[in-house]
């Protein structure tokens, strides 16, 4: 069966960087899909709860009747199923391992620091979180040099796995810079990433799914107000 005959849906939320990853990957592969917006603050849909019973989170890719969850798992699935069009992961095993390493670092260490800035109690905690973010960006600047080998993207001439894994956070990065009045990407410490960020955001596969910074900033303020005013969440 031609893969293009089977229906593809994405359950997502416009503000989620993780959902962006799935959509960029589908765009790269020229796969048509139906996008279903979850209004996360209003309660989760039946379809979401049924498709992702373990985590109840977006994104979920629904391919035919099969749900696939976890954004990086989804991106790899898309790359493997629609294998004839441009590759998302590199073909060399060591390069693949390097991409996966930095994607895991972004999800486990770097992005959590960004969220910490928003909810940090006290100036010291805030400064520590900002420092972690900056340290991470210096590491990623170095990784960019090694992975891109002088080309425009981590993936080389075209957007690849690590571009997607990292670039999806640029909207929130800009919001953090605005709200904390700091420069995280800058000429001094991360000149290559600064240029890469512009290229990524204006790329054909990205620009229609990257939320506007203003809209994201407004949404961010609303979340922060809710997090600060809300009772401590159950873990």
By CB under 8 A, name the binding residues for other proteins. 54-55, 63, 66, 68-70, 73-74, 76-77, 80-81, 93-94, 96-97, 100-101, 104-105, 139
146/198 with CB nearer other proteins? 146
Q: Which CB contacts under 8 angstroms, 24+ apart, belong to 213-222?
A: 213/171, 213/174, 213/175, 213/178, 216/15, 216/171, 216/172, 216/174, 216/175, 217/175, 217/178, 217/179, 219/15, 220/118, 220/172, 220/175, 220/179, 221/179
In whole angstroms, the minimum distance from the beta carbon of 101 to other proteins comes to 6
Paired with 27 in beta bridges are none
Cross-strand pairs, 34: 9
Q: How far is the CB of 17 from other proteins (least distance, A)?
A: 17
Nearest-approach distance from CB 216 to other proteins, in angstroms: 25
Cα angle, residue 206 at apex, residues 204 and 210 outer, rounded to 5° = 135
Tell me how far, at minimum, the Cβ of 84 lies from other proteins, in Å.
Answer: 13
Judged by beta carbon, residue 88 or residue 210, the one nearer other proteins is: 88
CB closer to other proteins out of 102 and 200: 102
| Residue (73 or 225) nearer to other proteins, CB | 73
- Residue 136 and residue 132: Cα distance in Å, rounded? 6
What's the min distance (Å) between Cβ of 68 and other proteins? 5
Sign of CA dihedral 67, 71, 75, 77: negative
State which residue, 47 or 179, has the beta carbon closest to other proteins. 47
């Amino acid at each position: 069966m031609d893969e293009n005959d089977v229906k593809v849906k994405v359950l997502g939320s416009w503000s989620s960087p993780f959902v962006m990853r799935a959509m960029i990957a589908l765009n790269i592969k020229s796969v048509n899909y139906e996008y279903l917006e979850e209004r996360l603050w209003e309660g989760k849909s039946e379809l979401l709860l049924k498709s992702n019973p373990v985590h109840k989170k977006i994104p979920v890719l629904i391919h035919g009747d099969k749900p696939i969850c976890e954004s990086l798992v989804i991106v790899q699935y898309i790359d493997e199923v629609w294998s004839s069009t441009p590759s998302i992961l590199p073909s060399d095993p060591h390069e693949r391992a390097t991409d996966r390493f930095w994607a895991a670092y972004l999800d486990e260490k770097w992005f959590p620091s960004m969220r910490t800035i928003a909810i940090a109690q006290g100036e010291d905690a805030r400064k520590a979180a900002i420092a972690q973010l900056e340290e991470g960006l210096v590491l990623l600047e170095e990784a960019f040099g090694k992975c891109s080998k002088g080309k425009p993207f981590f993936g080389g001439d075209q957007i690849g796995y690590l571009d997607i894994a990292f670039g999806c956070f640029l909207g929130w990065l800009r919001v953090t810079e605005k709200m904390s009045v700091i420069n995280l990407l800058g000429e001094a410490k991360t000149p290559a990433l600064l240029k890469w960020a512009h290229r990524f955001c204006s790329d054909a596969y990205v620009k229609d799914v990257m939320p506007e910074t203003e809209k994201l900033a407004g949404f961010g303020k609303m979340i922060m107000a809710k997090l600060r005013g809300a009772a401590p969440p159950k873990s």
